[in-house]
Amino acid sequence: MTTQPSDEPGTVVPTCYRHPGRETYVRCQRCERPICPDCMRDASVGFQCPECVAEGSRGMRQAQAVFGGKAVTTPRVTWALLIINLLAYAAELARTDLVLSTFAMNSGMVAYYGEWWRLVTGAFLHQPMTSGGLGLTHILFNMWALYALGPELERRLGAARFLTLYLLSALGGSVAIYLFGLSAVGASGAIYGLFGAMFVLGRKLGYDVRGVLWLIGINTVLTFVIPGISWQGHLGGLVTGTVVAAVLAFAPSRNRNAVQWGGCVAILVVLVALVLVLPPFAVNARLGLLG
């Protein structure tokens, strides 16, 4: 303990063990070292020093989300995805032709020119207001759905698992477009993956999922009724998100992390293999390359 002489002869004034220049008469309840106000940490009785608090925390089990991963209080991944989509839309409005021609999902450009990034970037673009048709409605619906479903799923799954679900669902929608469509933009594949995940997690937790089934059914019907909507992206994302959620929700408690992440890697490998092995059927049919 560092001490300094006081004004009265023969007495010493205790000083903070971390800040020797600060006088204090408060001691840590565990180690009894003097601590100044900046070093005081509230305890059940009195105060503790930072080292004792850290030592005590190491022996405590960290809170977890329902299906693994760290507990989430603020859904930062959801907010980050919302911001990325909105920034991409702003860039798209500023340079519509350049952004769409470079980053939109296009089966022919992926298959014959090796522009593989379109499988991911196309899921963060939306129809511009100048295109007519859905226009602004496209991004408004997708972002509303992400805002409504994202926080709940992120808290149930944990941040890393939720992000994996979102990205694999988006990729699944793009792979379906690659195989059976021509071109498309939008986060709808990822959003439909969240729909499927809500159903799977609700069943696992014993909730009434009839409302989710109605939501999926209505949106699936609209997919085929409203012209200009990529049914391939919607259904591809729905199937992929449902499978990913099933892996995350029904993984056994023993070795759960290994099963969950191993299953997600296997799904990613399957999606990549589909693109590498199978031809884009719709593009080839358009070009007259199918027998």
Verify whether residue 57 is a known catalytic residue.
Answer: no
Which range is least confidently modeled, 45-49, 153-157, 169-173, 253-257? 45-49
The DSSP secondary structure of 218-255, one letter per residue, reads: HHHHHHHHSTT--HHHHHHHHHHHHHHHHHHHS--STT
Classify burial at 110, counting beta carbons within 10 Å of its beta carbon; exposed 0-12, middle 13-18, buried 19 or more: buried
Cβ–Cβ under 8 Å, residues 85 and 124: yes
Q: What is the mean pLDDT of residues 41-66?
A: 76
What number does CATH give the domain 76-286?
1.20.1540.10
Segment 269-289, tens digit of pLDDT: 999 999 999 999 988 888 777
Strand partners, 70: 64
Kindly list the distances between the CA atom of residue 266 and the CA atoms of 78, 174, 240, 258, 272, in Å, as whole numbers in the listed order.
24, 17, 12, 12, 10
Q: Which of 107, 126, 174, 234 is catalytic?
A: 234
Planar angle of CA 200, 205, 209, nearest 5 degrees? 55
Rank 37-46, 54-63, 144-153 by mean pLDDT and report only the highest: 144-153
Q: Which of 107, 188, 230, 253 is catalytic?
A: 188
Which residue in 161, 158, 169 sits closest to 259, CA to CA? 161
Which residue in 158, 178, 167 sits closest to 240, CA to CA? 167
The reported pLDDT for the residue numbered 64 is 79
Sign, CA dihedral 147-256-238-199, equals negative
Whether 9 shows a pLDDT value over 60: the answer reads no
The DSSP secondary structure of 176-214, one letter per residue, reads: HHHHH-SEE--SHHHHHHHHHHHHHHHHHHT---HHHHH
Whether 220 shows a pLDDT value over 50: the answer reads yes
Verify whether residue 138 is a known catalytic residue.
Answer: no
The domain segmentation of the chain, as residue ranges, is 3-58, 76-286
